[in-house]
Structure 1
Amino acid sequence: MDEEDSQIQKTQLAMTVPTTRVDVLVIGAGQAGLATGYRLAQEGVSFLIVDENQQIGDSWRKRYDSLTLFTPRSLNALPGKVLDGDPDGYPSRDEFADYLANYALHYNLPVQTNFRIASLDIEAEALFWAEGADGSAILARAVVVATGGFQVPVIPEIAGTFSPQVRQLTPETYKGPADVEHGPVVVVGDGASGRDIAFELSAFKSVILSRGRNRRLLPEKLFGISMWKWLKVLGLLRAGPNSPLGRAMRKSDPFPSRERSDRDLEKRGVVLASRLIGANGKRAVFADGSTLDVGAVIWCVGYHDDFTWLMIKAAKDQTGSIVVKDGRSPVPGLFFIGRPWQRNRASALVTGSTADAQRLVDDVEQYLSSTRQGEGSIALVAK
């Protein structure tokens, strides 16, 4: 089917399926999507936020039970609404999920949950066509993708060399110690999630934390003040990805230890091991040559994107990865927000959502103005 036939088919489909028309479609109702919605509402732009989960905040509720955000409440508020509680304390998973749901309700943001985007393509006349898994469709002048950079947990090829008797989990499938019946347990990856899970499991199981690169952990407080506040005041959270400071931070990925330092974990009985490089049945093999029979492995080695639904070829490079610079795609009218190091260190954190959303909405408005050519904005109506 050529491009002309495809557009004819979409036009015919739009006449028969429920179709919503908006100026801006925001994909994802997490912190970045809601912050974007808040700014769009302030500017009087018609928009709709869609999310595949049943409730706003479910992307947080689905993670492990003991999860707390690793930034304090003072840095986790979206524009216009504080996050109640100790400003230096760390909100729990459910607390923050409820905050997001209440935020959308408080500002009456138009959010459609339980809506999964099956495909996003570009229509004639610079309109985007988003087809839902339920068969409905959305036509929009611009699209903001707010799905973030933590979409699908990475599971290395090594996982396939473990015996089926070894239970394998990720931060998305691990909920708590009851999920791990047999030990020892290897937690692979010493980022915030890996250290959290190793810390929790150490009270119940023999735990090995497999580490890769050298990671610099910062003290939780300096002179009685949260290290995150120091990072913000000193401008480190605003360091750009290609600045000398930004490159150094990307290499070491420093964050406050919150009683999860190497010393803290060792006091809890966690064994610190080198990189996991192989497996044979139940036996894990580490870079220093040591081996160990294990009962479970929890992979905390990062995430990768899933943009199989994004059908616009110009939005991706030859490897299939999205092309984005400072939130803008080479495809006019297509924008991204909430990506790691999109603009700076804070971009993938809640605290970066406010500033990034303001700048992004300015870009979106400029694009809409250039394409509207005197027409009024599209009313939010269902065909």
Structure 2
Amino acid sequence: MADEQIEVLVVGAGQAGIAMSEHLTAAGVEHLVLERDRVAERWRSWRWDSLVANGPAWHDRFPGMEFTVDPDAFASKEQVADYLAAYAQKFDAPIRTGIEVHSVRKNDGRPGFHVETSTGTIDARYLVSATGAFQKPIIPPVVPADAGLHQIHSSGYHNPQQLPDGNVLIVGAGSSGVQIADELRRSGREVYLAVGPHDRPPRSYRGRDFCWWLGVLGKWDMAAPPVGAEHVTIAVSGAHGGHTVDFRALAADGITLLGRAEGVDGDVMRFADDLRTNIAAGDANYLSMLDEADEYIARNGLDLPEEPDARILGADPACMTDPVRELDLSAAGITSIVWATGFANDYDWLQVDAFDENGKPRHQRGVSSEPGVYFLGLPWLSRRGSSFIWGVWHDAKYLADQIAIQRSYQAYDAPALAAH
């Protein structure tokens, strides 16, 4: 027999687990949240020291509590973590920290799941995986581990002083890669940045932040990324008060832009001939959003200041017009590589029939193919906004409703049929 029984077990006490707990608490559903580290630990230890949220405080928050910073400011990572911890305390979320879930298996011959943890066993009727998307850092097998270079994932980068002396190559130009490249360049390092396909929205336009524009234009509610853009990253920054990412400006500041990293032979690294294509596609994405914003303003008769300079793109730097296809890392003085190349899922602990042949969760808006199992905190779980604090709150509300529906079925006691 299990050491403990609970109706709903939530695994993970980040923004997803806290949101789930709030809705279950409001519905009066007995539940428990397990977290192997501290509440919101990923915000504290899996981010670099100077990181700030990519959305302004008025927008990127739970509906029930505001940040204690200026609404238009971008909260630091510690402020976000403290906010999430305070939010959990606000409704006395039943969170236990320092407990790791080792395995979850479906019970045999009875409903629910048997959960093995670092402190004992639990039987749960329903299981919510709220571990999110940032589980297993991906470092592509491009540069051998014994190549004599200091290689880390962006989740392990904290500040420039952490890296050995020398120049730095950063692979990946989404929000993390761009911000880390800028920070290292400002610290005096020579920086090389490999740029892949990306979207490049304006940080703000005509007096409104891009989060506002995505809202009024209905883009937060997109149910799936456009075909062919499933692996396109978003280059946007809240650093230094928030600014539009401009790769030409980064090059003007001394960062050498490169195409996608392809492989290495000895000390020589090869890059694809796609830098100009990737930046042009990012420019097109940027300009199309300005077009949509202008159209929305005109259609709705809004009095927002014009911003013609926003459409001026600077001259292409030499690294774009004469791209570097091969780089001798040793000759370039590169001693470190930061891989800003994203994350993979890690569901080895969840041993149920809820995954496809590639190990990805099978679900519809978080309701998995394994009855009683739910996923929360994944990108595009229900819409584009699912990765954000406010978005995961709404996804959690939906899942809490689905659990309530299932509980009502389980509570139904059919009358005995009369014998005929």
TM over 0.5: yes
Q: Residue 290 of structure 1 aligns with which residue?
A: 326
1:30-89 Cα deviation digits (max 9, x unpaired):
111111110111000001111111x21211111211111111111222241111212121
Q: Are positions 1:300 and 2:340 aligned together? A: yes
Q: Are positions 1:127 and 2:167 aligned together? A: no
* Aligned Cα root-mean-square deviation (Å): 1.9
Does the residue aligned with 1:351 lie in a helix, a strand or coil? Answer: helix
- Mapping for residues 157-236 of structure 1, pairs under 5 Å: 157-160=141-144, 163=147, 165-203=148-186, 204-213=188-197, 215-236=198-219
Q: Are positions 1:152 and 2:136 aligned together? A: yes
Q: Are positions 1:311 and 2:351 aligned together? A: yes
1:332 to 365, 371, 396: 371
Q: Residue 20 of structure 2 aligns with which residue?
A: 36
| In 2: Cα distance, 1:253 partner to 1:33 partner | 25
Residues 85 and 249 of structure 1, relative CA distance in 2, 3 Å threshold: farther
Q: CA deviation at 1:133?
A: 2.3
| In 1: Cα distance, 2:229 partner to 2:263 partner | 29
| In 2: Cα distance, 1:209 partner to 1:162 partner | 22
| In 2: Cα distance, 1:249 partner to 1:84 partner | 36
Q: CA deviation at 1:330?
A: 0.8
Q: CA deviation at 1:372?
A: 3.2
Q: CA deviation at 1:373?
A: 3.5
Q: Are positions 1:93 and 2:77 aligned together? A: yes
- Mapping for residues 232-381 of structure 1, pairs under 5 Å: 232-241=215-224, 246-247=226-227, 250=230, 252-254=232-234, 256-257=236-237, 258-288=243-273, 289-293=325-329, 294-312=334-352, 314-373=353-412
Larger Rg: 2
| In 2: Cα distance, 1:35 partner to 1:232 partner | 21
Conserved? CA contact 1:64–1:173, under 8 Å: yes
Q: CA deviation at 1:170?
A: 0.8
Structure 1: runs of 5 or more not aligned: 1-10, 376-383
- Mapping for residues 72-111 of structure 1, pairs under 5 Å: 72-111=56-95
| In 2: Cα distance, 1:283 partner to 1:217 partner | 30
Conserved? CA contact 1:56–1:113, under 8 Å: yes
Q: Residue 11 of structure 2 aligns with which residue?
A: 27
* AA at the equivalent of 1:308: D
| In 2: Cα distance, 1:159 partner to 1:179 partner | 20
Q: CA deviation at 1:105?
A: 1.1
Alignment: residue pair count: 351
Conserved? CA contact 1:191–1:300, under 8 Å: yes
Conserved? CA contact 2:175–2:236, under 8 Å: no
Q: CA deviation at 1:324?
A: 1.9
Conserved? CA contact 2:201–2:244, under 8 Å: no
Q: Residue 6 of structure 1 aligns with which residue?
A: none
Residues 195 and 300 of structure 1, relative CA distance in 2, 3 Å threshold: same
1:285-313 Cα deviation digits (max 9, x unpaired):
2224321312111111111011111111x
Q: Residue 3 of structure 1 aligns with which residue?
A: none
| In 1: Cα distance, 2:70 partner to 2:341 partner | 31
Does the residue aligned with 2:384 lie in a helix, a strand or coil? Answer: coil
Residues 86 and 256 of structure 1, relative CA distance in 2, 3 Å threshold: same
Q: Are positions 1:138 and 2:122 aligned together? A: yes
Conserved? CA contact 2:354–2:369, under 8 Å: yes
* AA at the equivalent of 1:30: G
- Mapping for residues 5-84 of structure 1, pairs under 5 Å: 11=1, 14=2, 19-53=3-37, 55-62=38-45, 63-84=47-68
* AA at the equivalent of 2:84: L
Q: Are positions 1:116 and 2:100 aligned together? A: yes
Structure 2: runs of 5 or more not aligned: 238-242, 274-324, 415-420
| In 2: Cα distance, 1:374 partner to 1:184 partner | 69
Q: Residue 295 of structure 2 aligns with which residue?
A: none
